[in-house]
């Protein structure tokens, strides 16, 4: 879904830009590029670098790559059969966001629930930084490209005014030709910046969504593990008190029913 949205945004931006360019100038793209001068090569380099970083991030932060479909199921099966040690082996070396967070949790299996939640937050911050790392060049290039275009336009205006000063203002073509040629660099700078800026914000939002999903799954795992640990402690206490696990479980179920009834009563009241 993400690559399709990115492709659509690029196509729309380029189509709009090329459409306006055709209205303003019927000449070919390459002729227009040459008229912009040497600064156009710098803008072209920015577009190539920006597209390279964008392609790398599109592949890197795909949901399938960061939240593997079978990872949690495999982890659950391994822990049921072999405990925490088997679970660590499943996620050890896994470079996905989900794998890194679960590895950090399992290696601190003896910690309290609060400590585990803090671990999720800390590891999540580090992973989000890594996911956004190669997005920064895209944002920088999207900001620099229009400035390079403006710089080229300023140089072109300087040349146009110098030409008008030398040849005189009797013929407006002496001045107008330099003006419209100078504006090419600004136009091409915007053509590069608009799609890259769209890509930057879409990928940044996608990285945030991935980390939100990973953290929610990790917190749900902590909650389930804590509930199981509490039930195990209750059964151990029941055995120490001379009751069987089944009796303890029935008592827990009864207490849950009492709590539910009291909650309903308080709501009704």
The predicted-structure confidence for 57-92, as pLDDT tens digits, reads as follows 999 988 888 998 888 888 888 888 888 888 888 888
- Tokens linked to 113: 């629930």
Residue-wise pLDDT tens digits, 171-205: 666 666 677 777 888 888 998 999 999 999 999 99
Q: Tokens for 186, please give them.
A: 């600004």
Dihedral sign from CA coordinates of 196, 198, 204, 209: negative
Rounded Cα–Cα distance for residues 140 and 94 (Å):
31
pLDDT digits (tens, 9 = 90+) for 153-163: 888 888 777 77
Do 120 and 90 touch, CB atoms closer than 8 A? no
Residues 6+ apart with CB under 8 A from 179: 156, 157, 160
The predicted model gives 128-137 an average pLDDT of 91
pTM for this entry: 0.71
């Amino acid at each position: 879904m993400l690559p399709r949205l990115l492709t659509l945004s690029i196509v729309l931006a380029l189509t709009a830009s090329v459409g306006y360019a055709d209205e303003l100038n019927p000449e070919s793209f390459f002729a227009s590029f040459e008229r912009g001068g040497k600064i156009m090569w710098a803008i072209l380099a920015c577009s190539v670098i920006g597209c390279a970083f964008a392609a790398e991030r599109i592949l890197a932060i795909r949901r399938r790559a960061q939240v593997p479909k079978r990872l949690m199921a495999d982890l659950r099966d391994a822990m049921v059969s072999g405990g925490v040690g088997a679970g660590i082996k499943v996620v050890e070396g896994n470079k996905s966001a989900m794998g890194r967070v679960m590895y950090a949790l399992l290696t601190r299996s003896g910690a309290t629930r609060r400590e585990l939640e803090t671990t999720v937050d800390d590891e999540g911050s580090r992973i989000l930084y890594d996911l956004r790392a190669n997005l920064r060049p895209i944002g920088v290039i999207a900001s620099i490209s229009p400035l390079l275009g403006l710089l080229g336009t300023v140089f072109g205006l300087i040349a146009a005014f110098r030409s008008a000063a030398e040849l005189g203002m009797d013929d407006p073509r002496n001045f107008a030709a330099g003006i419209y040629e100078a504006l090419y660099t600004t136009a091409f700078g915007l053509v590069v910046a608009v799609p890259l800026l769209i890509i930057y914000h879409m990928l940044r939002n996608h990285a945030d969504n991935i980390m939100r999903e990973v953290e929610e799954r990790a917190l749900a795992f902590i909650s389930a593990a804590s509930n199981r640990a509490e039930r195990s402690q209750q059964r151990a206490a029941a055995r120490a008190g001379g009751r069987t696990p089944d009796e303890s479980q029935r008592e827990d179920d009864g207490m849950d029913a009492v709590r539910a009834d009291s909650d309903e009563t308080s709501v009704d009241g």
